[in-house]
Amino acid sequence: MPMLGLGTWQNDDPDQCADSVTTALEMGYRHVDTAQVYGNEDAVGDGIAAADVVREDIFLATKVWNSNLAAEDVHATTHQSLDDLGVDAVELLYVHWPAGAYDPEATLGALDELYSEGKIDNIGVSNFEPHHVEEAMEILDAPLLANQVEIHPFLQQEELRAHADDHDYELVAYSPLARGDVFESDVLTDIAADHGVSAAQVSLAWLNQKGVSAIPKATGRDHIADNWQSLDLELSDEDIARIDGIEREDRKVNPDFGPDAWD
């Protein structure tokens, strides 16, 4: 899985969404993330089709929404997602939340079947706590590739990062810029000034050096390019320690159906 991807949450203007995907791919991105609930899978597919990048080089991920997690709905809506995206298969399919119609045996069994059918190359989960991940690993026949969760310097997810290392799965960070709060942090802006880069690049480089993939949302070319340049930034041990030392716990995404552990 590429360490940096393009997130498309709230990118719901079809032309803008397609253009941002095409722009990112032609800039060098190879990881694109969407979801059924975003309502933009068709636009993401249009952007992929328009890009001068072969499909086999693109790591495409989508997510099954909470109301679609009964076994028959997983199958039906995943096939609809593939149609909307204009692809035969996706590289990664996530369970979006352990909520709604989620039934571990039925939901994950359906994902195993899609994996066996070649409709998905990898299985992922999203917003799962460690005990959810362990349960999923016990049920699945296929390997669990990733858990996509909110991670940024103000929600560092030390427990989940340690769990991922111990259980050999990837973490993917959504909202890696903390909804723009990284630009208001003295620690991050000071480090950014030292390196002549943006605070966004500092946050993304910190995640990269922690071994966490990130999927920042960006729509305009300048922001897409700025995020991409984070791959060239290497933070010092002192920089990392300063970010690690931020004493703040600020979850940006906390719906009422989120895991009880978040309360």
Task: Examine the pLDDT at 263 and tell me if it is beyond 80.
Answer: no
Which CATH number belongs to the domain containing residue 84 in this structure?
Answer: 3.20.20.100
pLDDT bin (cut points 50, 70, 90) of residue 248 is confident
| pLDDT single digits (tens) 135-192 | 999 999 999 999 999 999 999 999 999 999 999 999 999 999 999 999 999 999 999 9
pLDDT at 209: 98
Section 233-247 average pLDDT: 97
- Judge whether 204 lies within some domain: yes
Section 228-251 average pLDDT: 96
Cβ-contact 32, 59 below 8 angstroms: yes
Q: Which domain holds residue 243?
A: 6-262
- Judge whether 1 lies within some domain: no
pLDDT bin (cut points 50, 70, 90) of residue 260 is confident
Q: Is 169 a catalytic residue?
A: no
Task: Examine the pLDDT at 262 and tell me if it is beyond 70.
Answer: no
Task: Examine the pLDDT at 62 and tell me if it is beyond 80.
Answer: yes
Distance of CA 126 to the CA centre of its chain: 8
The rounded mean pLDDT for the chain is 97
Residue type at 260 in one-letter notation: D
Section 207-232 average pLDDT: 97
Percentage above 70 pLDDT, the chain: 99
Total domains, the chain: 1
Q: What is the DSSP letter of 176?
A: T
Q: How far is it, in rounded angstroms, from Cα 177 to Cα 170?
A: 19
Please provide the size of the chain in residues.
Answer: 263
Q: How far is it, in rounded angstroms, from Cα 171 to Cα 127?
A: 10
- Judge whether 183 lies within some domain: yes
The backbone torsions φ and ψ at residue 16, rounded to the nearest 5 degrees and listed phi first, read -65, -40
Angle, CA 148 vertex, CA 12 and CA 119 arms, to 5°: 75
| pLDDT single digits (tens) 101-113 | 999 999 999 999 9
pLDDT bin (cut points 50, 70, 90) of residue 224 is very high
Q: Which of 29, 38, 94, 169 is catalytic?
A: 38
